[in-house]
Chains A and B, each alone.
Chain A
């Protein structure tokens, strides 16, 4: 099976812009979770989608949003970018919802906000 893929791998934006990141889960997985990873805060949960519905959300401002399509592919959007949004954004897929099973991570999208 192909693994989790994320596009783009690297992205440079300026403050105030918005960005959309994409994640394709492992075939057959219906749960997609997004995480932000920074040296200072570590890995932080953003949200989880299962069967096109957001199931859980972490403590991030409303500028962070996402969606999931009928084929389980997911996108994450960050609007009005701030310098502090610079991070590695990781997507993970799993067969069960709610983090109750092994998650398979993609390589991440490295976002740099200037």
Chain B
């Protein structure tokens, strides 16, 4: 597959464990945040989003937490599965442009 980043931070977790991926964003005026998942050879795929008037949002097996005080975003994946192995990007909507973070590579060990 195609490499999306040769020197990305990497998180390795055991199948069934919970995963936490962190992201620092840059603009305190950003009001919309999104997490995307990118598998090898594919474009990014939406996971979950959150607006700045919320601190937490839950989806199916995923939770996003937003801490505006320290400009930090996290993605929690419950009961991580091998199919969750991918690169995860946080993104912020800054002035009508979407700015992506560098990404984190998640490895799930069976």
Chain A residues near B (Cβ < 8 Å): 4, 33, 35, 37, 39, 42-45, 48, 55-56, 58, 88, 90, 92, 97-100, 102-108, 110
Contacts and interface: CB of A to CB of B under 8 A. Distances in A.
Q: Interface residues of B toward A: which range?
A: 20 to 34
8 contacts: A37-B4, A42-B100, A48-B96, A56-B97, A58-B97, A102-B34, A106-B43, A107-B42
A97 B2 contact: no
A90 B36 CA distance: 14
A107 B38 CA distance: 10
A9 to B, nearest CB: 10
B38 to A, nearest CB: 8
Contact of A99 (B4, B45, B96): B96
Main secondary structure of the interface of B (DSSP, over half): loop
Nearest to B4: A37
A17 to B, nearest CB: 22
B57 to A, nearest CB: 13
A105 B45 contact: yes
Contacts of A90: 43-44
Contacts of A44: 100
Contact of A43 (B2, B45, B89, B93): B89
A45 B99 contact: yes
Contacts, number: 67
A99 B98 contact: yes
- Most chain B C-beta atoms within 10 Å of own C-beta, residue among A48, A55, A108, A110: A108
Given A33-B98, A100-B32, A103-B98, A88 B2 contact: yes
Contacts of A110: 2
A42 B101 CA distance: 8
Contact of A45 (B41, B45, B97): B97
B43 A105 contact: yes
Contacts of B6: 39
B60 interface: no
A45 B98 contact: yes
B3 interface: yes
Nearest to A58: B97
